Amino acid sequence: MLTIWLLTTAVGRLAGGASGLADFAASNSDKAAQVQLPPALQQQIDQLKAQATQSADQASVQAQQRAQEAQAAVQQPGDQPIERTAN
Amino acid 35: pLDDT: 77
Structural domain for 48, as ranges = 39-73
Given a cut of 80, is residue 10 above it in pLDDT? no
Residue 61 within a domain = yes
Residue 43 within a domain = yes
Amino acid 33: pLDDT: 63
Domain total in the chain:
1
pLDDT band at 87 (very low <50, low <70, confident <90, very high): low
Q: Average pLDDT, whole number, for the chain?
A: 76
Counting residues of the chain whose pLDDT is more than 70, the rounded percentage is 48
Amino acid 14: pLDDT: 65
Given a cut of 80, is residue 48 above it in pLDDT? yes
Residue 55 within a domain = yes
Amino acid 16: pLDDT: 61
Alpha-carbon distance of 68 to 52, in angstroms, equals: 24
Residue 33 within a domain = no
Residue 69 within a domain = yes
**What is the DSSP secondary-structure string of 5-54?**
HHHHHHHHHHHHHHHHHHHHHHHTHHHHHT----HHHHHHHHHHHHHHHH
